[in-house]
Amino acid sequence: MSEQELKGKIGIVTGGSSGIGFQIANVLAEAGAIVYNISRTGKPKEGYGESAEGVIHIRGDIGDTEAMKTLLTEIAGKNGGAIDFLVNNAGASFKCRAEEFPEEQFDRVMNINVKYVFSMSQLAYPYLKKAKDKGRIINITSMSAHLGFSQVVPYCASKGAVLAMTRGLAVEWAEDNICVNSIAPGWFRSELLKDVLDPEREKKILARMPFHAYGDTRDLGAMARFLIGPGASYITGQDFAVDGGALAFGY
């Protein structure tokens, strides 16, 4: 891959003020892309430092459809009416046993992880169609789309839905100049992981993969860079695990 292989491309990362989204945005920008990073804070969270040149932080609520519609129109207007990529990274979870799971938290997880992923894809669709080298959507799934985990069952359900959505959109939009893929992160340090982690759970997590260690979030950025780059125009409907071998691990 060339150092500036994404030069001239303009796109969006959601939920990029920290963790996975923050580094995906950085890696894409370092490869030459202009990345509009939408988050509730509109800036990197404390302790994350400065973003790479080319990352533009925007404060926004992806659940506000009208605001997002206006924003995407403005971004596309700076690129001849096109958007080259959309990375649906924003996510939410809540730790609670299934029989006690609050309905309002279930709705929150499903809205952020599924409904808003779909609505952002819908809003980006007319601009992704106009991309010169095929528009690209990357959804962030999870090990939870493939494996069952206790105390986060709605999260598992939501990520399974995103995986199914990825495949469905890939098929439906294949003739519309759009590739749709997903990345399934294994275990990386992030704000979302902190919300559900405790010492016992961490011990189980690290024992559940061949490398027995957390990953580097820049590896997820490298996968996104590949999927958005010139070498991935014939790849669609696929889920790429970056997981330290977790899905392959037997005993």
Q: Which of 125, 155, 214, 234 is catalytic?
A: 155
The CATH number covering residue 191 comes to: 3.40.50.720
Q: Is the dihedral of CA 228, 231, 236, 239 positive or negative?
A: negative
Considering the chain, what percentage of its residues have pLDDT values greater than 70? 96
Q: Give residue 193's pLDDT.
A: 67
Question: Which pLDDT tens digit goes with each residue over 86-119?
Answer: 999 999 999 999 999 999 999 999 999 999 999 9
Mean pLDDT of 176-189: 94
Q: Count how many domains the chain has.
A: 1
155 is catalytic: yes
DSSP class of residue 233 equals T
pLDDT band of residue 3 (cuts 50, 70, 90) is confident
Domain residues for the domain of 45 are 10-241
Is the separation of the CB atoms in 108 and 120 below 8 Å?
A: no
In a domain, residue 172? The reply is yes
* Cα separation, 53 vs 5, whole angstroms: 15
82 within some domain? yes
Q: Model-level pTM?
A: 0.94
Q: What is the pLDDT of residues 116-157, one digit of tens each?
A: 999 999 999 999 999 999 999 999 999 999 999 999 999 999
101 part of a folded domain: yes
Q: Considering the domain boundaries, does residue 246 fall inside one?
A: no
143 is a domain residue? yes
- Over residues 70-95, the mean pLDDT reads 97
Q: Is residue 251 part of a domain?
A: no
Examine residue 222 and state whether it is found in any structural domain, yes or no.
yes
Burial of 169 (0-12, 13-18, 19+ CB in 10 A): buried
Element (H, E) at 159: helix 153-172
Residue 53 within any structural domain of the chain: yes
